[in-house]
Amino acid sequence: MTKPIRWGILGAAKFAHEQMAPAIHAAKGAELYALATSSAEKAAGFQSFAPGLKVHDSYDALLADPMIEAVYIPLPNSLHVEWTLKALDAGKHVLCEKPLAMKAGEFDAVIEKRNETGLLAAEAYMIVHHPQWRRTRELLQSGAIGKLRHVEGAFTYDNSADTGNIRNKPDTGGGAIPDIGVYTYGSTRFASGQEPTVVQADITYENGVDVYSHAYGRFEGFTFSLVNSMRMSNRQHMSFHGTKGRITLTAPFNAAIFGEARIEVETTPGVVTIERFPAVNQYVTQVENFGATVRTGADYQCPLEFSRGTQAMIDRVFAAAKPIE
Query: What is the rounded average pLDDT for all residues in the chain?
Result: 97
Q: What is the DSSP string of 59-114?
A: HHHHHT-TT--EEEE-S-GGGHHHHHHHHHHTT-EEEEPSPS-SSGGGHHHHHHHH
pLDDT at 317 over 80: yes
| Identified catalytic residue from 54, 86, 98, 113 | 98
Contact 288, 2 (CB under 8 A): no
Contact 160, 230 (CB under 8 A): yes
121 vs 126: CA distance, rounded Å = 14
- The domain in which residue 231 lies consists of 127-283+310-323
**Residues 95 and 199 both lie in one domain:** no
pLDDT digits (tens, 9 = 90+) for 202-235: 999 999 999 999 999 999 999 999 999 999 999 9
What is residue 33's three-state secondary structure? strand
pLDDT recorded at residue 323:
87
Question: If pLDDT is split at 50, 70 and 90, which confidence band does 324 have?
Answer: confident
pLDDT recorded at residue 49:
95
pLDDT recorded at residue 2:
82
- What distance separates the 2 farthest-apart alpha carbons in the chain? 60
Active site residue 98: yes
**Residues 221 and 111 both lie in one domain:** no
* Position 299 in a domain: no
Count of domains in the chain? Answer: 2
CATH code of the domain containing 92: 3.40.50.720
In the chain, pLDDT over 70 holds for what percent of residues? 100
CA-based nearest residue to 96, from 115, 119, 80? 80
- Strands (DSSP E) contained in 145-195 are 148-158
